[in-house]
Structure 1
Amino acid sequence: MRNWLFLTPLAKAGDLGLLPLRWVTGAFLVWQSHDNIFSAARMEEFVGFLGQFHFPLPELMAPLCVWAQFLCGIAFILGLLTRWAGIVTTFVFIVAVWMVHWPQDFPGWWPALILVFLGILFATLGGGRYALDTRFEPKRNA
């Protein structure tokens, strides 16, 4: 009875729940960064955006940020180096919340804040059973 009250059987599908979460998070990161990678004009706009928010060295920070998001997105989609991608995503979006979204109201924070916590989730849980990481990670003793 208690298993059904707390829906304990759903815990067996946790890895299956991580899979679409990784895919949609990764797809979002790739989607929001690809235009800056493939267009010099869009990258220049982003450099200006970072300058407007007083980022140090925006000419360096813009490509670093964009490539970090793009590569983390691919890593999440593949489930490869998922924990590293989670750490990098967490860092990038903590900086985004602090430098860009801080003066906004809570709904303005929401997209970047969710990416902070998704980064923490993937950094701590990894990619799950259906990630490429499982092929390369050392096996833990049971």
Structure 2
Amino acid sequence: MTAADLITLRPLARGADAALLALRAGVGAFLVFGVWDNITSAEHMQAFTTFLDKFGFPWPHLLAPFDVWVQFAVGVCFVLGLLTRWAGLLCAVNFIVAIVMVDHHGGWRAAFPSMCLVLIGLYLATHGAGALSADRLLFRPRRGGLARAD
């Protein structure tokens, strides 16, 4: 190991795929866990509908289940590394809406978790899922292929 490697921690790059898997799995599990009560309980879904109505969302009775299922799907896609770029884009858009409609009322600290999810979504949308993913298994370029899906 060279002095430059020690200073820059370059050898840590060998763990990049595992770190990306951990990021995807952790964020994905968080998203699934965050909406599971709405999926399994009509009362929780109704409470979420009421919450959306309180903050002026249009058609909260339609938007609540739509948002819950989008977050669930994004979470599952992150965990599996499946359609990760699309999931990242949906995650970013979803939480931008959360910041604009709800979180900004509570200030910077209240908006920070949603902002982190926007940034993680943008990272995954632009970088893909990495080597340890369903995207890599399913969409690996064939001989003569032009683009990588990860």
Question: Which category of TM-score, normalised to the shorter sequence, fits these structures?
Answer: over 0.9
Structure ID, larger Rg: 2
Could you tell me how far apart the structure 2 residues matched to 1:100 and 1:81 are?
A: 28
Report the counterpart of residue 119 of structure 1 in structure 2: 121
Question: Alpha-carbon deviation of 1:122?
Answer: 1.0
Which of the numbers 50, 53, 57 marks the counterpart of 1:51?
53
Equivalence for 2:41: 39
Cα distance in structure 2, aligned partners of 1:23 and 1:72: 11
Give the Cα–Cα distance (whole angstroms) in 2 for the partners of residues 68 and 133 of structure 1. 19
Structure 2 gap segments, 5+ residues each: none
TM-fit CA distance, 1:12: 2.3
- Identity over the aligned pairs, expressed in percent? 43
Q: Which amino acid aligns with 2:66?
A: L
- Taking structure 1 as the reference length, the TM-score comes to 0.94
Higher relative contact order (CA 8 A, sep 6+): 1
Between the aligned partners of 2:63 and 2:140, the Cα distance in structure 1 is: 34
Q: CA RMSD in A?
A: 1.4
One-letter code of the match for 2:11? P
SS in 1 for 2:66: helix
Question: Which consecutive segments of 4 or more residues in structure 1 shift more than 4 A?
Answer: none
Q: Which residue pairs with 1:68 in the alignment?
A: 70
Structure 1 segment 1-142 matched on structure 2, within 5 A: 1-139=3-141
Cα displacement (A) at 1:141: 5.5
| Counterpart Cα distance in 2 of 1:141 and 1:79 | 21
Aligned residues: 142
